[in-house]
Amino acid sequence: MAKTITIYTTNTCAYCVMVKKWLKSKGLGYQEVNLEEHPERQAEMMQLSGQMAVPVTVVADKDSDYLNITVGWNPAKLASAVADMPVASAA
């Protein structure tokens, strides 16, 4: 099991807050990329998601290199993406 979670956010995005809150409620760690603080990473987010909209949550499986990408606040899709992750995993 080697999955990590990365969330792409902006400063005033309420749905980004919801994703972070949901992950915390599940005891899951994550790395946050604030695209206003790191505009140089916007292209990376757009390439991953195909969109210019946040939040984007990327669950990366390091064993298989598979990326599960969720655009927006979609708890059902997030639940499926992290279903086999142990709680309190490191980001």
Partner 1 sequence: MAEQAQIYDVIMVGAGPAALAAAVYTTREDIETLLIEKGAVGGLAAITDWVDNYPGFAKGISGLDLAAQLEGQAERFGAKIKLGEVQKISTDGDLKRVTTNDGDLLAKTVLIATGTDYKKLGIPGEQELYGRGVHYCATCDGAFYRDKRLVVVGGGNSAVQEALFLTKFASHIDMLVRSDVRASEILQHELAKNAKITVHLNTSTEGIIGENNKVVKVLGTKDGQKTEFETDGVFVFIGLKPNTVFLSDSPQIELDEVGFVRSDANLQTTMPGVFVAGDVRSGATMQIAAAVGEGATAALRVREYLEHLERHSTEASHYVADQA
Query: What span, in angstroms and rounded, lies between the C-alpha atoms of 16 and 26?
Result: 16
Give the residue with the Cβ less far from partner 1, 10 or 89.
10
The side-by-side arrangement of strands in the sheet containing 31-34 is 31-34, 3-9, 56-61, 66-71
Interface with partner 1 (CB under 8 A), residue from 5, 16, 69, 82: 16
8 binds partner 1, rule: CB under 8 A: no
Helix (H) or strand (E) holding 60: strand 56-61
CB of 64 to partner 1, least distance (A): 26
Please give the residue ranges that form the binding site for partner 1 (CB under 8 A): 10-18, 21-22, 25, 35-36, 39, 42, 49-55, 71, 73, 75-76
